[in-house]
Amino acid sequence: YTTSPDQSLVKTMEELLKRTVAPLPTYETRDKSPPIPESSSVEFMHFYRSLDKEQKLEFLDRLSRDFGVDHKSVSELAAKVVETQLRDLPTVLQVEDRLRYSLTPRYRHLFGHISRVEGGVKFLVDLRADLIEIISSKASESPLLRDLNGTLKGLLSEWFSVGLLHLERVTWLSPCELLQKISQYEAVHPVRNWTDIKRRVGPYRRCFAFTHAAMPGEPLIVLHVALTEDISSNIQTILREFATLDTEEDVNKINSAIFYSLSSTQAGLQAVDLGTYLVKRVVRKLQGEFPHISQFSSLSPIPGFCAWLQGQLSSQLKEGRGAGLLTEQEWREVAEVTGSEVGAADSLRKLLGSGDWVRSDGLARALEPALMRLCAWYLYGEKRRGYALNPVANFHLQNGATMWRLNWMADTSPRGIGSSCGIMVNYRYFLQETAGNSASYLQNKTIAASDQVLGLVSQYQKNSKL
Amino acid sequence: YTTSPDQSLVKTMEELLKRTVAPLPTYETRDKSPPIPESSSVEFMHFYRSLDKEQKLEFLDRLSRDFGVDHKSVSELAAKVVETQLRDLPTVLQVEDRLRYSLTPRYRHLFGHISRVEGGVKFLVDLRADLIEIISSKASESPLLRDLNGTLKGLLSEWFSVGLLHLERVTWLSPCELLQKISQYEAVHPVRNWTDIKRRVGPYRRCFAFTHAAMPGEPLIVLHVALTEDISSNIQTILREFATLDTEEDVNKINSAIFYSLSSTQAGLQAVDLGTYLVKRVVRKLQGEFPHISQFSSLSPIPGFCAWLQGQLSSQLKEGRGAGLLTEQEWREVAEVTGSEVGAADSLRKLLGSGDWVRSDGLARALEPALMRLCAWYLYGEKRRGYALNPVANFHLQNGATMWRLNWMADTSPRGIGSSCGIMVNYRYFLQETAGNSASYLQNKTIAASDQVLGLVSQYQKNSKL
Amino acid sequence: YTTSPDQSLVKTMEELLKRTVAPLPTYETRDKSPPIPESSSVEFMHFYRSLDKEQKLEFLDRLSRDFGVDHKSVSELAAKVVETQLRDLPTVLQVEDRLRYSLTPRYRHLFGHISRVEGGVKFLVDLRADLIEIISSKASESPLLRDLNGTLKGLLSEWFSVGLLHLERVTWLSPCELLQKISQYEAVHPVRNWTDIKRRVGPYRRCFAFTHAAMPGEPLIVLHVALTEDISSNIQTILREFATLDTEEDVNKINSAIFYSLSSTQAGLQAVDLGTYLVKRVVRKLQGEFPHISQFSSLSPIPGFCAWLQGQLSSQLKEGRGAGLLTEQEWREVAEVTGSEVGAADSLRKLLGSGDWVRSDGLARALEPALMRLCAWYLYGEKRRGYALNPVANFHLQNGATMWRLNWMADTSPRGIGSSCGIMVNYRYFLQETAGNSASYLQNKTIAASDQVLGLVSQYQKNSKL
Amino acid sequence: YTTSPDQSLVKTMEELLKRTVAPLPTYETRDKSPPIPESSSVEFMHFYRSLDKEQKLEFLDRLSRDFGVDHKSVSELAAKVVETQLRDLPTVLQVEDRLRYSLTPRYRHLFGHISRVEGGVKFLVDLRADLIEIISSKASESPLLRDLNGTLKGLLSEWFSVGLLHLERVTWLSPCELLQKISQYEAVHPVRNWTDIKRRVGPYRRCFAFTHAAMPGEPLIVLHVALTEDISSNIQTILREFATLDTEEDVNKINSAIFYSLSSTQAGLQAVDLGTYLVKRVVRKLQGEFPHISQFSSLSPIPGFCAWLQGQLSSQLKEGRGAGLLTEQEWREVAEVTGSEVGAADSLRKLLGSGDWVRSDGLARALEPALMRLCAWYLYGEKRRGYALNPVANFHLQNGATMWRLNWMADTSPRGIGSSCGIMVNYRYFLQETAGNSASYLQNKTIAASDQVLGLVSQYQKNSKL
């Protein structure tokens, strides 16, 4: 941002902060300080909400700068810790505790008070969402704002720890408010109308959400499950199956639980791990209801695959070595179908961009082996700091799932074609192995994958001479 | 404790702790460590519950000693903080954050994991109750255990912060489980049967409790309120009024809300402030329901008054100057009624001990002015670290209430006679003044009191030449 | 219907009826007959549901014919009653009771058994809906079917008597199932989407429904209420007011309760009076919540007015005396605006048919006095068996409401223009007068009306020389 | 009763009845009569409740006499039916319908109106309870009161038909109000305290009740079930088993469902069949929850057995032929143990009266075969109008149960010894046979019994030479 807020507003901010962020009691009186009046917190919340984007940045900047840690006193106490390190244990412990107290930023106490006010927790979640946007959009690169974010994340992690979450099964008898919000929040496969959402909570379907006492009526994260005979390889079958609305579930037809959509709803809870726990709890719940279910798997989108592929095509085009991605034979087939021998790579790029390739059976057939191979590599081989680049893959692998099966023509919606060439992937949960897989992945960055996936990956490697 | 646990148990403890208390990830990998399996936490909980009192102490001792803070690394990082204090801000912040991380005891992470398991929060509340008992009974004076207690208190304060508590109005339609627990927990005026508890939730009565998502069905703290015309001066009227069970409330007869019983149920939540917040929330709730209620007051017991008075009598007897407590005229009247001129002080002590004095109208009349005066002093003048010695007084004064009226013959149950000579006190909440009163009391140790109380206190001072 | 069902089906029907409609126990053993197995009822229900429309008629015809009253035994017992009329009281009573028993059709017992089966009551409601359709479409004119209908109506009236109904306030937190059904059933002002229905249950709105234990999740009749400052004169204001969704209700702005939609959902409960009771209960409920509300009124559609008017125009055209409906002056104005001097009546008819008149300000202004006058007469003066011809008017007048105000341009939706020239009417409930009004209307057919309405009526009479 | 109510009260009654019991509309206007104001019904209810027992009788007498059927018009319409019996069907049907209408007592309409008022249905249930007491205590023998009772029973049967009842499983989380009422109403095995009732709804136990929309919070009939391995032969095991409170149910240990207590709570619902339906619904519910349960049985008391036996002993003593009840050998053993050779019969009578025999092992052993034999006969052989004299037996036999096993020392409480010499009986429900058994019993008075029971019965017959 460029223009600075006008001076009168800055003045107002300063005064408000002075008034509403209570001074820290001394270490000695920390348990005997008068309660902070709720009105302070309410005033703070009200004021913050009245600010526009740019003003919020200014305000948070001030908060993080002027109401954080007193570095001087930290440094003094640190010196004292060094001094007393050989003294008796009670002394050591006491000095350490003082140091710990001095390392707590003053705004952390403010947040504690706000959390006690009605709507306060939701306010802090939203404030953190603003902060995350500021940081990720690079509107500011202040390390103090990063610290503020870290402190908030720590607090929210406490408050949204699993013991305090309520697992709710959502049905057609759930409050309309809840179902409407779930419809709104559904990011993976959008809900279009009453019938759509009714089907999501009808027979052969389950919908679970975590809710939290401090944010009543607000689903924090939502998991949609299909109960099927086999592990699903196509999302439209799940979303548009019309037969199921009035039927009664036949338990004997239920062998698999397919997680086909997982949506977080609160930007401000980023990196507060809810998804992993939700999946675990739902698995346990389903095992309770259907002891004979033996197959647990996701049917997941692959956001970013097409974009990645386009990038690959572009850079290879530039470097004049388009050959690596498709085999010669494949290039020939593409050229044949598109009729443009020379610029096959270029016309492929355009076809992928428009999604038009899917309308030509010939082209689709020609591209299938290549796209499957490339997609397997994208999921398995592309990394960020050693972990899977694709965020959905990373999520399930952290949970201990196995990258199990890539499915061709699994999502033929425009969205599916546009973002992942219609391919979807099953991350399968072999319950005996998830703990081990999870540890291997997190510690050694090893990805558990099936023969199908590994086969496709090795084809890719062979073809691209990696 | 004297005998040490046998060596095989110690061995088992060591192994279990090593197995279940996960090693700390390094600062760098702290967000990328594999999830701790729930089974670890469950094993820890199960093992701890199987221990007897003495074994628990041994176990907690080990936990606090071997899985706390690494003092060496704290000291090194503290030195680094001192070193870098003049460096650029990002460096300072980073080193501080590392220091903060190193100051977090390893068992704090364990507690976090336990809180995520079903029943885990309740387990930690109970574990802290054990710890408090160990410390207050002086079974151990380890400063490490005190630190463990401090850490737990901090965590529980987060989890039981008010935003996460649910205020529940308890009625005769509430689950039996809840009402039975409330009956059991009622510490101030015991509940004897179904009719007793039914009256507590019937017309002209309100009963509120805080519950918490992580401890379903468990009332954490319970407040009983009577809705009356005037500020009550007698507890039996409230508890035994038989007329009220089937009547409909007449709003016009309700001018006052009397808090006549407040019971905490969880020893492990000591010093986690729930009572103050409950009183505040209930006041707000009642104002919503009865906008015209103008008088809010407690009718509170005075535990400890008789014991204190007996102590005074004893020491004065020893020092041969019993005269100070009663006026000469009063001593004469006592002597007259009891017929024992010489040992009036001694026989008074016995009468107070047995409670028999209450059965003699003459004696009761004779003692009334003295006991009221002494009681006022006990509440107003006796201090601990500058704050009111009497814990109930201290609680209400912290909340900002005024010590408003002492009531003679307000609790004539054996318990009431035995612990406070039948006197009870109203702490009155003048809503406009509570914030100011609270701050004055906490910061300056000033007690807000009515003319009646101050008058009695000054009589006491005059008589005892203080 | 023309073709008769094939003989094998008739045979099946006969056998099924013989099997499932239990023979009547004798009067003596009527309390000692074995319980009818549920399977009989279930078989009956299942079979009936499998039939098509024509087959249902055949089946009900048989049921009413072969399983009704045994006229011979009725006649014999009637003779006995005549004989014994001078005998002692116990004898008279006993013979009367036998006669009463014999007058109970055999199928009434069947219906009793069916009502005990899960879903049985709903089955009977639906069966009666079929019956009503048969009778009103004149598919059959069998007096036995009318008797069957009468018996069913009697039973349903017992089961749906008000003491057994549950008044439910529908909110945005009600089950989605309920809200979706209410959306579907809304007949008066159709609900288009989530926002529409959310507004119906949002601030300044109330939505109430009767539900019944035997038909869980099924709203039987739904009343929509708007809470307003003044008595509403326009329906679009109520339905499309966008400001209200997030606001909090300001009690001081609520002086009136406007019933703007009442929808019955069960055709089979025709003539079972639910609407009257719902209105009464809602009035009482609202008085409880808002003691200061002083104005209760409907804002009602006038279905049939345009059709009636067209009929009037046609017949007058035929009889060549179109003059009676409009004044000469009015005809002139119409002619002027439409530019068709000769066939003003004819072009008016066309304009009313198409609704195009509303788009011409001049025409609308010219027609207003005439249409208001005619509409007042239609509501007040047109009768069926002495009661108001318009069913909505008849409903509110039965309830004791006053025909209070006709509102010009009150419903400008195509539907509103098409069915009532955009006019709507308030039936106002003066609570002190409803009992009296109701009795006057039902017994003497007197309609309570305001000066505005009576003024319009007398204008009409003057103009048409009635 | 002897004294008649004073004249002023009689006058008041007459006026009130005239005012509150609406006159019957004519047949023609029966659907067009103004609604009866609720205030009439409320006034009637209020007045009736203010009366004492004797006044109630007077009042009901008047109601039944002056507001019943108009015998004259019945007789006239009956004559008309006879006249028109050969006329066309529509005429016949119409005259019959008029007759039917005239046979409806005027007070039936009153009851209909009362049922619509809040609390009205409960009022009528209580009124019928009064009526039943009057009739069974023979305070009046008016046939008109019997008719009134019959009308009320018919109405209540409609309103409490099974489709309108709600089956509720009662647990420790149910409202306290409900559990307290269930404790109060438990007639078979009294509930003594919180622990008792907690056990009744704890693990290995189920408690079900029917409730009704018109009487919220009121359990109408309550069934207690124990889930056991084998069919229980002892009630104390069920009631006092302390092990079960905190354990989790092990499904594998559950093979049998034992109905050990069934209590109706509303005297006014006498002969309205709720018990049979409750048992059926509970069986179905349990089959749903535990598909593998194969044994359903009651463990029932035998009220009246001791009284019957005493009667037998007395009359045999009078007739000097005491021998028939016990065998000679048995008499000898009794004489031996009691030491009173001459008056063995007399001393046996006394012992049975006091219950002291149970304290002597010898006597108990000696009496077992005789008491079992006699009890079997009492249950199986003693009849009233051809059906089992014992009401509990009659209930279960009507439901189609088999008289399966007599259990010695099955209820050793004073109550059990005193009323049935400690014997209890299992009525077993073989689900495939209940329908057939029920029909056989109700139509042919045949009792289904096991070999054990039949064996005991034939011993009795042999011994007493029947």
pLDDT for A369-385, tens place per residue?
A: 999 999 999 999 999 98
B324 with B419, same domain: the answer is yes
Q: Give the C-alpha distances (Å, rounded to integers) separating A104 from A73, A74, B103.
A: 11, 10, 11
Per-residue pLDDT reduced to its tens digit, D154-190:
999 988 887 788 899 999 999 999 999 999 888 778 8
Buried/exposed A242-251: b ≥16 CB within 10 Å, e otherwise: eeeeeeeeee
**Which candidate, C179, C444, C463, places its Cα nearest to that of C316?**
C463
Supply A366's token pair. 């020609």
What is the predicted pLDDT for the residue at A32? 74
Q: Do B175 and D174 touch (CB under 8 A)?
A: yes
CA distance A85 to A101: 18
Q: Which chains touch D (3 or more CB pairs under 8 A)?
A: B, C
- C-beta separation of D363 from D372 below 8 A: no
The residue type at B59: F
What is the predicted pLDDT for the residue at B1? 44
Does C contact B via 3+ CB–CB distances below 8 Å?
no
CA distance C233 to C163: 35
CA distance B152 to B127: 9
Q: Do C34 and D439 touch (CB under 8 A)?
A: yes
Q: Which of C33, C71, C164 is nearest residue D214 as measured by Cβ atoms?
A: C164
Q: Do D69 and C162 touch (CB under 8 A)?
A: no
Q: Do A116 and B277 touch (CB under 8 A)?
A: yes
What total number of domains does chain C contain?
Answer: 3
Q: Which chains touch C (3 or more CB pairs under 8 A)?
A: A, D
Domain boundary among B159, B192, B224: B159
B198 with B116, same domain: the answer is no
A275 with A330, same domain: the answer is no
Domain boundary among B298, B321, B354: B298
Give D14's Cβ-side CA count (13 Å radius): 7
Closest residue in D to C75 (Cα) is D82
D125 with D273, same domain: the answer is no
Q: Do D442 and C85 touch (CB under 8 A)?
A: no
- Cα torsion through B218, B219, B220, B222, rounded to 10: -170
Please report, in angstroms and rounded to a whole number, the separation of the first and last CA atoms in chain D.
45
List chain D residues with CB under 8 Å of B194: 180, 183, 194
The residue type at A318: K
| Paired sense of beta strands C424-429 and C402-407, if any | antiparallel
Closest residue in B to A121 (Cα) is B163
Alpha-carbon distance D173 to nearest alpha carbon in chain B (angstroms):
4
Supply D190's token pair. 């009294």
Q: Do A121 and B213 touch (CB under 8 A)?
A: no
Supply D161's token pair. 């038909």
C172 with C155, same domain: the answer is no
D16 with D154, same domain: the answer is yes
Within 10 Å of residue A384's Cβ, how many Cβ atoms?
10
Catalytic residue among A64, A232, A300, A347: A300
Closest residue in C to D68 (Cα) is C93
- Report if residue C78 sits inside a domain: no
**Chain A residues within 8 angstroms (CB to CB) of chain C:** 172-177, 179-180, 194, 197-198, 217
CA distance B308 to B318: 15
What is the predicted pLDDT for the residue at B403? 98
- Report if residue C97 sits inside a domain: no
B203 with B314, same domain: the answer is no
SS (H, E, C) B432-452: CCHHHHHHHHHHHCCCCECHH
**Chain B residues within 8 angstroms (CB to CB) of chain D:** 172-177, 179-180, 183, 194, 197-198, 217
- Report if residue A417 sits inside a domain: yes
- Report if residue A83 sits inside a domain: no
- Report if residue D199 sits inside a domain: yes
List chain A residues with CB under 8 Å of C174: 175-176
- Report if residue B79 sits inside a domain: no
Q: Do A175 and C174 touch (CB under 8 A)?
A: yes
Alpha-carbon distance B355 to nearest alpha carbon in chain A (angstroms):
38
| Paired sense of beta strands A295-298 and A256-264, if any | parallel
Mean pLDDT of D372-383: 96
Alpha-carbon distance A261 to nearest alpha carbon in chain B (angstroms):
23
Give the residue numbers of B marked as catalytic: 300, 396
- Which CATH number covers residue D359? 3.40.630.150
What is the predicted pLDDT for the residue at B281? 92
Per-residue pLDDT reduced to its tens digit, A384-406:
989 999 999 999 999 999 999 99
Task: Categorize the per-residue pLDDT at A332 as very low, low, confident or very high, splitting at 50, 70 and 90.
Answer: confident
- C-beta separation of A202 from C200 below 8 A: no
Q: Which chains touch A (3 or more CB pairs under 8 A)?
A: B, C
Alpha-carbon distance D101 to nearest alpha carbon in chain B (angstroms):
42
List chain B residues with CB under 8 Å of D174: 175-176
Best residue of A174, A176, A193 to probe chain C, by most C CBs closer than 10 Å: A176
Closest residue in C to D90 (Cα) is C143
Each residue's pLDDT expressed in tens, for chain B with a length of 466 residues: 445 658 899 999 999 999 999 888 889 888 777 777 788 999 999 999 999 999 999 999 999 999 999 999 999 999 999 999 889 999 999 999 999 999 999 999 999 999 988 889 999 999 999 999 999 999 888 999 999 999 999 999 988 887 788 899 999 999 999 999 999 888 778 887 778 888 899 999 999 999 998 888 899 999 999 999 999 999 998 988 766 667 788 888 899 999 999 999 999 998 888 998 899 999 999 998 898 898 999 999 999 999 999 998 888 777 765 557 888 888 888 888 877 666 777 888 888 888 888 888 888 998 999 999 999 999 999 999 899 999 999 999 999 999 999 999 999 999 999 999 999 999 999 999 998 999 899 888 999 999 999 999 999 998 886 5
Alpha-carbon distance B44 to nearest alpha carbon in chain D (angstroms):
22
CA distance A309 to A326: 12
Domain boundary among A114, A134, A159: A159
List chain D residues with CB under 8 Å of B169: none
Q: Is the ipTM, as predicted for this complex, more than 0.85?
A: no
List chain C residues with CB under 8 Å of D214: 163-164
List chain B residues with CB under 8 Å of D176: 172-176, 179, 197-198
- Local mean pLDDT, 10-residue blocks, chain C (466 residues): 70 93 87 79 95 95 95 95 92 95 94 90 95 93 94 92 87 93 84 84 94 89 95 91 72 93 91 88 92 94 94 80 74 81 77 87 90 96 93 94 97 93 96 90 93 96 78
- Which CATH number covers residue C151? 1.20.140.90
**Which candidate, C244, C202, C231, places its Cα nearest to that of C294?**
C231
Q: Which chains touch B (3 or more CB pairs under 8 A)?
A: A, D
C357 with C456, same domain: the answer is yes
C353 with C456, same domain: the answer is yes
Q: Which of D78, D97, D442 is nearest residue C81 as measured by Cβ atoms?
A: D78
Residue D458 lies in domain: 305-463
Three-state DSSP class for residue C28: coil
Closest residue in B to A441 (Cα) is B34
C214 with C282, same domain: the answer is yes
List chain C residues with CB under 8 Å of A245: none
What is the predicted pLDDT for the residue at A1? 44
- Report if residue D404 sits inside a domain: yes
Lowest mean pLDDT among A341-355, C40-54, D48-62, D114-128: A341-355
The residue type at B174: S
Give the residue numbers of D marked as catalytic: 300, 396
**Which candidate, B110, B140, B136, places its Cα nearest to that of B47?**
B110
- Report if residue A88 sits inside a domain: no
Q: Give the C-alpha distances (Å, rounded to integers) separating A264 from A209, A260, A273, B100, C415.
A: 10, 14, 10, 30, 43
Q: Residue A324: pLDDT above 80? A: no
Q: How many pairs of residues across A and C have Cβ atoms under 8 Å apart?
A: 33
What is the predicted pLDDT for the residue at C293? 92
SS (H, E, C) chain A: CCCCCCHHHHHHHHHHHHHHCCCCCCCCCCCCCCCCCHHHHHHHHHHHHHCCHHHHHHHHHHHHHHCCCCHHHHHHHHHHHHHHHHCCHHHHHHHHHHHHHHCCCHHHHHHHHHHHCCCHHHHHHHHHHHHHHHHHCCCCCCHHHHHHHHHHHHHHHHHCCHHHEEEEECCCCCEHHHHHHHHHHCCCCCCCCHHHHHHHCCCCEEEEEEEECCCCCCCCEEEEEEEECCCCCCHHHHHHCHHHCCCCCCHHHCCEEEEEEEEECCHHHCCCCCHHHHHHHHHHHHHHHCCCCCEEEECECCCCHHHHHHHHHHHHHHCCCHHHCCCHHHHHHHHHHHCCCCCHHHHHHHHHHHCHHHHCHHHHHHHHHHHHHHHHHHHHHCEECCEECCHHHHHHHHCCCEEEEEECCCCCCHHHHHHHCCCEEEEEECCCCHHHHHHHHHHHCCCCECHHHHHHHHHHHHHCCC
Q: Residue A431: pLDDT above 50? A: yes
Q: Which of B94, B103, B164 is nearest residue A103 as measured by Cβ atoms?
A: B103
D27 with D109, same domain: the answer is yes
Q: Which of C103, C118, C161 is nearest residue D96 as measured by Cβ atoms?
A: C103
List chain A residues with CB under 8 Å of C182: none
A265 with A131, same domain: the answer is no
CA distance A408 to A411: 8
Give the residue numbers of C marked as catalytic: 300, 396
DSSP D151-180: HHHHHHHHHT-GGGEEEEE--TTSBHHHHH
Q: Do D177 and B180 touch (CB under 8 A)?
A: no
Closest residue in C to D153 (Cα) is C31
Comparing B324 with D145, the larger pLDDT belongs to D145
Closest residue in C to D165 (Cα) is C213
- C-beta separation of C109 from C22 below 8 A: yes
Residue with tokens 């010093």: B271
Q: Residue D322: pLDDT above 60? A: no
DSSP C229-259: SS----HHHHHH-GGGSSPPP-GGG--EEEE
Q: Which of D89, D164, D271 is nearest residue C214 as measured by Cβ atoms?
A: D164
Mean pLDDT of D292-298: 94
CA distance B423 to B165: 34
Angle at A53 between CA A51 and CA A59, to 5 degrees: 60
Q: How many pairs of residues across B and D have Cβ atoms under 8 Å apart?
A: 35
Q: Give the C-alpha distances (Å, rounded to integers) separating A134 from A48, A120, D445.
A: 15, 21, 87
List chain C residues with CB under 8 Å of D163: 115-118, 120-121, 159, 213-214
Per-residue pLDDT reduced to its tens digit, D230-258:
999 999 989 887 666 677 888 888 999 99
Alpha-carbon distance A177 to nearest alpha carbon in chain C (angstroms):
6
CA distance A378 to A384: 12
Q: Residue A163: pLDDT above 80? A: no
Angle at B161 between CA B159 and CA B167, to 5 degrees: 110
Three-state DSSP class for residue D419: helix
Please report which helix (H) or strand (E) contains residue B168, including its range: strand B165-169
List chain D residues with CB under 8 Å of C161: 112, 115-116, 159
Q: Do C194 and A217 touch (CB under 8 A)?
A: no
CA distance B112 to A163: 10
Strand order in the sheet with B424-429: B165-169, B205-212, B221-228, B256-264, B295-298, B424-429, B402-407
List chain D residues with CB under 8 Å of B180: 194, 198
Q: What is the mean pLDDT of chain C?
A: 90
Alpha-carbon distance D303 to nearest alpha carbon in chain B (angstroms):
30
